[in-house]
């Protein structure tokens, strides 16, 4: 599987939440130790960098397990040691995060691509890849140059999942946006909060400031809560949030949305939901 989406949409957060629940479920069902007495680690998560090669990937897996041979072994030995750890700890899910950092069209990228096929064949795990623009990087395509055609097998073996931003063009999209705001509203720890503070009174405003990207939304709300605590306001309001700078991408995209909301050409509220008072 590959989760391929733009930045700021919560890919890693969603994958880690799923991994945590999966880990807990496996431990609850099978116990904390395997039949051979090894610790059961149902999930292994590895983060890649722009310089990751085959040896680096194997070493990163061994770092996760704290294997003593991770500094002295050869690339082949590291791979076999990683396989031994996966089998011994009965890993079921292997997560490769930030896969977009890998330079697929360089020699190291080709090596890692081939190595991922070996992992898919030999490791009894589900391989979950997370990254930005993986399709554009060539992960799923046949490639144009002769040396890139080896990547084609990865596309055949991988199911791509995307995470689009929240949209308000349809009733379903507006309902999903409202459900998100209602969930966030329950988690705000300010003494002046009240029902509808976010989901009713700030719905359009928050969509304008975040453009539907959950990363930008959470940045704005977190910074707003910090300011509300420091100033003693203890609630989120438009006036307070107007004093909070958000990430640059969100700030640049907000003007067009602000015009659409002011002109009545857009709304983030589902039918039947009251407007802000």
Q: How confident is the model at residue 250 (pLDDT cuts 50, 70, 90)?
A: confident
Q: How confident is the model at residue 146 (pLDDT cuts 50, 70, 90)?
A: very low
Alpha carbon 3 to chain centroid, angstroms = 8
Neighbouring C-beta atoms of residue 11, cutoff 10 Å? 22
Q: How confident is the model at residue 277 (pLDDT cuts 50, 70, 90)?
A: very low
Whether the predicted pLDDT of 37 surpasses 90 = yes
What integer is the mean pLDDT of 172-178? 94
Whether the predicted pLDDT of 149 surpasses 70 = no
Q: Alpha-carbon torsion 168, 218, 185, 4, what sign?
A: positive
Distance CA 123, CA 108 (A): 21
Q: Is there a contact between 271 and 171 (Cβ–Cβ < 8 Å)?
A: yes
Per the prediction, the chain carries an average pLDDT of 87
CA torsion 35-40-43-49 (nearest 10°) is -110
Tens of pLDDT, residue by residue over 179-218, are 999 999 999 999 999 999 999 999 999 999 999 999 999 9
**pLDDT the model gives residue 126:** 95
Q: Is there a contact between 240 and 231 (Cβ–Cβ < 8 Å)?
A: yes
Alpha carbon 92 to chain centroid, angstroms = 19
pTM above 0.95, yes or no: no
Tens of pLDDT, residue by residue over 61-96, are 999 999 988 888 888 899 899 999 999 999 999 999
Q: Is there a contact between 43 and 86 (Cβ–Cβ < 8 Å)?
A: no
**pLDDT the model gives residue 259:** 82
Sheet holding 43-47, edge to edge: 43-47, 93-97, 126-131, 2-4, 160-161
Tens of pLDDT, residue by residue over 220-243, are 999 999 999 999 999 999 999 999
> What is the chain's Cα-based Rg?
23
Whether the predicted pLDDT of 157 surpasses 70 = yes
The least confident of 38-42, 119-123, 177-181, 190-194 is 119-123
- Higher-pLDDT residue of 171 and 111 is 171
- Higher-pLDDT residue of 239 and 115 is 239
In the chain, the percentage of residues whose pLDDT exceeds 90 is: 55
């Amino acid at each position: 599987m590959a989760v391929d989406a733009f930045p700021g949409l919560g890919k890693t957060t969603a994958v880690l939440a799923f991994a945590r629940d999966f880990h807990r479920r496996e431990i609850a069902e099978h116990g904390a130790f395997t039949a051979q007495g090894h610790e059961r680690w149902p999930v292994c998560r590895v983060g890649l960098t722009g310089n990751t090669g085959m040896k680096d990937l194997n070493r990163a897996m061994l770092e996760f397990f704290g294997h003593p041979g991770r500094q002295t072994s050869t690339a082949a030995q590291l791979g076999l040691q990683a396989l031994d750890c996966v089998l011994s700890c009965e890993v079921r899910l292997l997560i490769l995060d930030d896969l977009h950092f890998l330079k697929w069209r360089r020699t190291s990228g080709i090596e890692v691509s081939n190595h991922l096929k070996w992992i898919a064949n030999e490791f009894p795990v589900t391989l979950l890849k997370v990254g930005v623009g993986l399709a554009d990087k060539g992960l799923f395509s046949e490639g144009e140059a002769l040396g890139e055609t080896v990547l084609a097998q990865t596309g055949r073996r991988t199911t791509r999942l995307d995470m689009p931003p929240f949209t308000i063009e349809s009733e379903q999209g507006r309902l999903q946006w409202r459900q998100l705001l209602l969930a966030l509203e329950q988690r705000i720890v300010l003494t002046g909060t009240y029902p509808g503070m976010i989901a009713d009174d700030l719905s359009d405003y928050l969509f304008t400031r975040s453009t539907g990207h959950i990363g930008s939304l959470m940045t704005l709300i977190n910074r707003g809560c910090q300011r509300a605590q420091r100033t003693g306001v203890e609630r989120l309001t438009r006036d307070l949030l107007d004093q909070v700078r958000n990430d640059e991408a969100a700030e640049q995209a907000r003007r067009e949305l602000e015009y659409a909301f002011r002109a009545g050409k857009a709304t983030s509220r589902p039918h039947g939901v009251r407007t802000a008072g």
